[in-house]
Structure 1
Amino acid sequence: MTIELEEPPLTRDNLQVYKDLFAGTIGGISQVLVGQPFDTVKVRLQSAPEGTYSGALDVIKQLIKNEGFRGFYKGTLTPLVGVGACVSVQFSVNEFMKRHYDDKLNGKPLSLGQFFNCGAVAGFANGCLASPIEHIRIRLQTQTGNQKLFNGPLDCAKKLYQTNGLVHGIYRGLSPTLIRESIGLGIYFATYEALIKRELSSHTNLIRKDIPGWKLCLFGGLSGYTLWIAIYPVDVIKSKLQTDSLTLPKYKSSLDVIKDITKSSGIKGFYRGFIPTILRAAPANGATFAAFEITMRLIS
């Protein structure tokens, strides 16, 4: 069954791509500032050896005790720049694909499946950029105490390249990243558009730019929930690959990670760190969509 969602005419001008990129960057910066502490806790839980932490609260206690509140923002420079770039790619490609379908359908409403396709293409494009950025961020986030191998993002990128090269070093974890981004962002953007269209259809004469900011945050938060519920196990696999030893790697591929997690922890091993991730989903993604939509209103 095809679900059609009414869509007002899409904005088009010679600067539209640049506007999409700029608004996406603002959304990405908002996402990092709101979500980085949750992400640090998630990564520590995902990547630490079994028994290191008893749960998310234990990570928080140890982090504050050993590193202070600044520890929650370790490696923030990389995502602040990188996630800003990633989200700008996500949103600009998604908007480009929406305009592509709009031209193809001669202004007819896009279906839910077509919104999914828009997000999936955006996710694949973003995955190529997100993979090295997330790898560097995770290496920095998991440095604890005096065990400091990297002196910042540039030093990290340099050492990853020197140790294992471009493909097996900097781009380690690319395959699960592409899977996660394509499926996840397809669901993410389709959910958001479905919620927006449901809101528009339930109010007479309401247009998209008149939807209040708090509802944009709510819709973005709910979209974040669907994203992470769908693809969290893939994110765990990616994190395991990207925190593996550089000199004596335990895993050769994603399949090795799957086998190891299944053997040592069972299904629950694929959901380590899920609580801080799902707690992060609402504020971080709510801020992302609200910042993007409001920025677009201001510059359009």
Structure 2
Amino acid sequence: MSDLATIVDVPSQKTGSSQAIIDCASGTVGGIVQVLVGQPFDTVKVRLQTQSTTNPVYSGMMDCVRQIRQREGLGGFYKGTTTPLVGIGACVSIQFVVLESMKRTFAGKNNDPLTNTQFYMAGAASGVANSIVSGPVEHIRTRLQVQTGPNGYKGPVDCIKQIYSAHGLAGIYKGQAITVLREFQGYGAYFLAYEWLVKRSMEKTQRKRTELPAWEVCMYGAAAGYAMWMTVYPVDIIKSKLQTDGFDKATRKYSSALDCARKIMAVEGFGGFFRGIGVCLLRAAPSNAATFMGFELAMRMFSH
């Protein structure tokens, strides 16, 4: 049985367009699985992140879950799912295509082993490339996720049309700068953590990468998810607030990411940067394990 470590941690043996197509298709599968597993967690996270501090709707994570279930049914947890199903699938495929390309570039003609810094930079590059899609996808998703009344957007297409009609492409890419920052650090930490854990396991057990069992790869994927979110969660808080903020000066609460950070600190203190982190960390393990498993199974199928 092939192992994801051989795909993610070392330069691919195949090169050229055929390998890029396999990486892209497999990443799409991994991204779709990630959304299906993680969307309910993300909806709760965004609701907690963006609710008013002076008149909060939810007292905590479980209260948020209870209220969504009572008022909106199970479908409430999957609001805005259509956009990320397409978009996050594209994001994950972009991540793996860029990651593999960067690793091959760093390895060079002699197939030199990559350093931790190189793995971090390869992951960071994949995050920046992926932000071109993840920025607008997450913007539309968060707008839909925080809707609780009947007078909002009718769905992702209607949301895109209304925002683009009123504010153009800049409106669709609202919060893009902070998204790029989050993706750079987040995916740099993500792939660095994964590689370090794989390397450590190989040194302890004297196994080859191809001999790492699937459960271990899933465990490392989950741990990598924790590494990502523990290092970027405050940035994600700011991103969510900016992307659900008003578009014009009359309705806007924050003039910039820095202004948002200052106001969070002034009103909520340091804890305000970690609101909703519990549900985020609960999501990290199953969501990232599912992503890696989906990617691995797709790689096995597409490689035959």
Query: TM-score when scaled to structure 1?
Result: 0.93
User: Contact 1:67–1:145 at 8 Å: present in 2 too?
Assistant: no
Matches within 5 A, 1:255-294: 255-294=258-297
**How many residues matched?**
290
Q: Say whether the 8 Å CA contact 1:66–1:145 is kept in structure 2.
A: no
Tell me the alpha carbon deviations over residues 37-82 of structure 1, each in whole angstroms, 9 at most, x when there is no partner. Answer: 1000000000111122111011001101100111111111111111
Q: C-alpha deviations, 1:80-127, integer Å up to 9, x for none?
A: 1110000111111111101111116x2221001100010011111111
Matched, 1:175 2:177: yes
Corresponding position of 2:245: 244
Q: Which moved more, 1:269-278 or 1:157-166?
A: 157-166
Deviation at 1:8, TM superposition (A): 5.5
Matched ranges for 1:69-148 at <5 A: 69-103=74-108, 106-146=110-150, 148=151
Q: Kindly indicate whether residue 224 of structure 2 is the aligned counterpart of residue 223 of structure 1.
A: yes
Match of 2:153 among 150, 154, 157: 150
- The answer (yes or no) to whether the contact 1:31–1:287 under 8 Å persists in 2 is yes
Q: Give unmatched runs, 5+ long, in structure 2.
A: 1-8
Aligned position for 2:187: 185
Long gaps (5+) in structure 1: 1-6
SS in 2 for 1:202: helix
Amino acid in structure 1 at the alignment position of 2:80: G
Alpha-carbon contact 1:30-1:287 (below 8 Å) kept: yes
Tell me the amino acid that sits aligned with residue 27 of structure 1: G
Identical-residue share of aligned pairs (%): 50
Tell me the amino acid that sits aligned with residue 66 of structure 1: R
- Which residue is 2:34 aligned to? 31
Equivalent AA in structure 2 for residue 90 of structure 1: Q
Counterpart residue number, 2:60: 55
Deviations 1:180-222 (A, max 9, x none): 0001100101111111222233334x33343222112100000
Out of 167, 170, 181, which is 1:164 matched to? 167
CA contact (8 A) 2:193 2:227 kept: yes
Distance 1:96 1:8 in 2: 11
The question of whether the paired residues in 1 share the 8 Å contact of 2:45 and 2:279 is answered with: yes
Q: Deviations over 1:222-256 (max 9, x none)?
A: 00001000000000000000111245111121112
Give the structure 1 partner of residue 3 of structure 2.
none
Aligned-partner Cα distance in 1 for 2:116–2:105: 15
Q: Read off the aligned partner of 2:112 and give its amino acid letter.
A: K
Given residue 140 of structure 2, which amino acid in structure 1 is its aligned partner?
A: I
In 2 relative to 1, CA 29–8 (structure 1 residues): closer, same or farther, beyond 3 Å?
closer
